[in-house]
Amino acid sequence: MAILKVARMGHPVLRQKCAPIDPKTITGPEVQGLIRSMFQTMVEYTGVGLAAPQVHEPVQLVIAGGEADEDGRPTYRVLINPKVTVLDEDTRLGMYEGCLSVPGLRGWVERPAAVKVEAYNEKGAQIEFTLEGFPAVVIQHECDHLEGVLYVDRMEDMTKFAFELEADRFHEQELGDEEGEEEYEDEE
């Protein structure tokens, strides 16, 4: 287990399409070790999610958070070879996204608010579930990484691209007045 180096925007590993993982190898030492190290790395950098290419492993594996258990403790899903299907293209959720690979910055992105996800979990079992709201955004952000896509590619208004401090100072307040828009500030 190790804290891994996080690739930053500009590194080509973030721009390639990631290879699927052979499901038979999921419970093997290599994939399990990568999952453990990715967890450790995500916790170290206080991320709400992490994709394998962010730690220089261009394979289809993500950890995605944004959900909580009954006691309010954050929970995370490990998703291997995930397939995300948008359930409603018209209902969108906007927020300032952050990314451990784009440190210090935030950008306003609007994404579909509900998705269906099919994947393998860390035990090698096939899973399928739906998500709404913040966790749905996190999953889309993480799965974009597997296609070589960063949140900055999805921004439509570059005046809503800001350093963290300025985003907090000038943008959160202004956007907080708009009804129905939620804001989060987690690195993914």
- How far is the C-alpha of 142 from the C-alpha of 187, rounded, in Å? 11
Q: Which is nearer to Zn ion, 44 or 90 (CB)?
A: 44
Q: Confirm or reject binding of residue 97 to Zn ion (CB under 5 A).
A: no
Other Cβ atoms less than 10 A from the Cβ of 35: the count is 18
3-state SS of 138-178 is HHHHHHHHCCCCCHHHHCCCHHHEEEHHHHHHHHHHHHHCC
The Cα 82–Cα 68 span in angstroms is: 21
What is the total count of residues that contact Zn ion (CB under 5 A)?
2
Which position among 14, 93, 99, 131 is part of the footprint of Zn ion (CB under 5 A)?
A: 99
The residues annotated as belonging to the active site are 142
In angstroms, the CA 33 to CA 162 distance is 35
Query: Vertex 175, ends 111 and 75: CA angle to 5°?
Result: 50
Q: Please check whether residue 47 is in contact with residue 188, taking contact to mean a CB–CB distance below 8 angstroms.
A: yes
Return the number of the residue (80 or 102) whose C-beta is nearest Zn ion. Answer: 102
Helix (H) or strand (E) holding 42: helix 29-44
CB of 141 to Zn ion, least distance (A): 6
The SS3 of residue 35 is helix
Least separation in angstroms between residue 14's CB and Zn ion is 9
Part in contact with Zn ion (CB under 5 A); list of ranges 34-42, 82-90, 99-107, 169-177: 99-107
Cα gap 13→18, rounded to integer Å: 9
Q: Which is nearer to Zn ion, 186 or 188 (CB)?
A: 188
* Binding region for Zn ion (CB under 5 A) out of 29-37, 98-106, 164-172, 178-186: 98-106
- Cβ closest to Zn ion, residue 9 vs residue 34: 9
Q: Which of 57, 122, 186, 188 binds Zn ion (CB under 5 A)?
A: 188
Q: How far is the CB of 153 from Zn ion (least distance, A)?
A: 11
Within positions 118 to 137, which residues make up the interface with Zn ion, using CB under 5 A? none
Closest to Zn ion by CB, 5 vs 123, is 5
Interface ranges with Zn ion (CB under 5 A): 99, 188
